[in-house]
Amino acid sequence: MPIEVKIPALGESISSGVLSSWKVAEGSYVEVDQPIYELETDKITQEGLAEVAGVISFLAKEGDEVEIGASIASIDDSASKPAAESPPKEVEAPPAEEPESKEEPVPLPEEQPASAAKDQPVAPVKAEQDAPPHSPAVRKILAETGIDPATVSGTGKGGRLTKADVLAVAEGSSKPPSSNDAAKAQPVPSRSPEPEGRSTRRALSPIRRKIAARLVEAQQTAAILSTFNEVDLSAVMALRKRHQDAFVKQHGVKLGFMSFFVKAVVHALKAVPGLNVRIEGSDLIENHYFDVGVAVGTEKGLVVPVLRDCDALSFAQIEQGIVEYAEKARSGGITLEDMQGGCFTITNGGIYGSMLSTPILNPPQSGILGMHAIQERAVVRNGEVVARPMMYLALSYDHRVVDGKEAVTFLVRIKEAIEDPARLALGI
């Protein structure tokens, strides 16, 4: 009896998803625990595994939005596994064509030497399908441009058409671009653009719809305000340079900038606990833990996995956690548990070249720190103008529960910790 493949429950807030792809072919034999489909929801992308072995039949197609509990396929567990097929006999393939520069060109009939025409008997004309073909590159260009090969003069050996000959005609010249006579050639009329190819309509993915809804929710429900500062990365960069090799050798991961900022955020949250809060209805919830979310960009959208208890983590553990989350996020293996909770978020637009931005809160959190690109800028130190690696920082916060004094003090504490990393070790 066929066993139904149903969409499992993935969380209280997830009611449906999009069947983004099938991992197996229709009618194929699947093994137990073999990935058979990929479901994209508004929070995560989840792979579905076969619960039994057998032949699979699809009941839904890729791109369908399916409800939790819906049947999308059936597996006939009574079907026997097909025997391993013997390797097919090798079919003698025609000789592979060599690169154009080494191919024996096909002379065009009208370009045969006159002496050859006199001395040789006239051979019957072969059918077009029996003629030696042009090279794959030439055939492709001829098919794409619609150029009649009989109208093109070949410059290859014996008058053979080359890729350059056809491209020259396609670009409006009857000879290769290197020819002195290129300007005299007759141009080929260009094709007018087709209106239907100017735009494409497709539905928003569940993740993108959820991101859009949360951003609008944050803008409409919170009183978002941003404050800015700049930080000198000289001390952190010198520390990284001095200890990077030993750090990698001992921990197997590079010492990046993000671990310093995670630690600096924890340092600032302890100094200004008014940022470590959230609103629930008419209540203010004060957090006494330090779970920090780190935004990770993927092809399907932004996700924010959470590093737990960052006050108890070492620099190496933070770096390892970030690397693991980034790999899971980009491979689609991140889970709901990875992204739940969190009391503060860090987003780094600097990796994409952003100089300055105002990040939007990650509800229900009350603060988010935006990091930006590091640039050498002229600053004054001890009365002298010097070049230093500088970064702009932006703190967006919920002004309903966080006052400006608290926000500015919080950002100054981060600046102090980054410019003097010893504070992170000493807790001052």
H/E stretch holding 319 reads: helix 315-331
Spatial CB neighbours of 345, under 8 Å, sequence gap ≥ 6: 292, 293, 294, 295, 304, 359, 362, 365, 367, 368, 369
Annotated active-site residue in 76, 251, 399, 420: 399
H/E stretch holding 83 reads: none
Q: Is 391 helix (H, G, I), strand (E, B) or coil?
A: strand
Strand pairing report for 29-30 and 54-58: antiparallel
Structure tokens at 164: 């350059």
Secondary structure E strands in 146-260: 224-232
Per the CB < 8 A criterion, the answer to whether 177 and 171 are in contact is: yes
Phi, psi (degrees; rounded to nearest 5) at 5: -100, 115
Report the Cα 146 to chain-centroid distance in Å. Answer: 36
CA dihedral 54, 57, 59, 64 (to 10 degrees): 90
Structure tokens at 152: 């093109």
Distance CA 190, CA 177 (A): 18
Structure tokens at 304: 């924010």
Is 403 tagged catalytic?
yes
Which residues carry out catalysis? 399, 403
